[in-house]
Structure 1
């Protein structure tokens, strides 16, 4: 995690603005974890309550997860997304706030079950992320319910970023729990809607 933060800081030092495309080019194969984790974390903030945003973020994450599942060596994004940029001063400030967290994660997550961070295990992680993304649109009709699968996605993205197999394993267990909770909420809300003679979730 520390090397990711360090490279972001270096990009900010060398450019007035840093585009998404610059980050993709610099990170290469390591861009999958951050670009899965960051949108999921965004959904966990108050903006996640904006109608349609959780589904849009889930679609974005799905695009990344499909590429991971297919074994691409780096993330592809549409040109209009790659052109999105942030000022170097804002990026420096954000990086500074993340350094403490990055140091903590590096101290506690290196060298654990490394086999779960490569090969077939990565495809399993990608499949789990896609499954979680599929649960987001129906859960969006319930206030902040979509945050449950998004939290699991964020943890999986973090596990890929720090290359921590133990965290991957824990995140997969949490994925099963989150999926079960999501299905239960969907079934219960649909049943209530049917009993009341109205559409599900309403």
Structure 2
């Protein structure tokens, strides 16, 4: 199945997911990735960030860890210069009830519209090119490695979701300011995990 053209904003991601789920009792990860464009790193980061942030989904035990595995696999493959990303079939087959997905998207719709109005191309030198993309990948690997611990620290997984969402949007919209925000949120995530585990 060919992947769809790349998404350009948060609301478009939600619309693509709803389209993929239409007519199905459950929707699996493979269907969702194909809908948002699984061959591009930005849309995948954005999607995983939204899943971790989403009400009714991101708070399910085990979901942040599964999302961390996906981010880790994609990020490592980007660092290795892979042109096409790969995920194991057991991950692609993971599914969620369409009714739960619809509720989560309905709750997220207004915040998504607000964010979409703020995102635009700016400070593009911070997000375009080989080196910035690899910096994003390295930061995403660091976040992914921390996410299993975050399941035991209140609100930290949501912070990780914010980091991934900002990085994904920054790559899609060429918004360097969002990349800076993601770096700041990442520092906050590391601090929260450090004090949550060793504090």
Question: How does the TM-score come out when normalised to structure 2?
Answer: 0.68
Tell me the distance in 1 between the aligned counterparts of 2:26 and 2:60.
24
Matched, 1:125 2:132: no
Structure ranking higher in helix proportion: 1
The alignment partner of 2:96 has SS state of: strand
State the match for 1:168 in structure 2: 179
Q: How many residues align?
A: 181
Quick one: distance in 1 between partners of 2:103 and 2:161?
22
Deviation string, structure 1 residues 36-63 (Cα, Å, up to 9, x no partner): 3146437x96656xxx876665444322
User: How many Å separate the matches in 2 of 1:19 and 1:39?
Assistant: 13
Picking from 71, 76, 81, the partner of 2:91 is 81
Indicate the RMSD between aligned Cα atoms, in angstroms.
3.5
Indicate which of 3, 12, 25 corresponds to 2:12: 3
Which residue of 153, 158, 164 maps to 2:165? Answer: 158
Paired residues of 1:36 and 1:153 also in contact (CA < 8 A): no
Once the two structures are TM-superposed, the CA of residue 26 in structure 1 deviates from its matched residue by 2.3
Residue of structure 2 in register with 1:37 after alignment: 49
Structure 2 unaligned residues grouped into runs of 5+:
1-9
Aligned to 1:106: 116
**Structure with greater Cα Rg:** 1
Question: Is the 1:105–1:162 Cα contact (8 Å) retained in structure 2?
Answer: no
- 1:116 counterpart = 2:120: no
TM-score (norm 1): 0.67
Show the counterpart of 1:197.
Answer: none
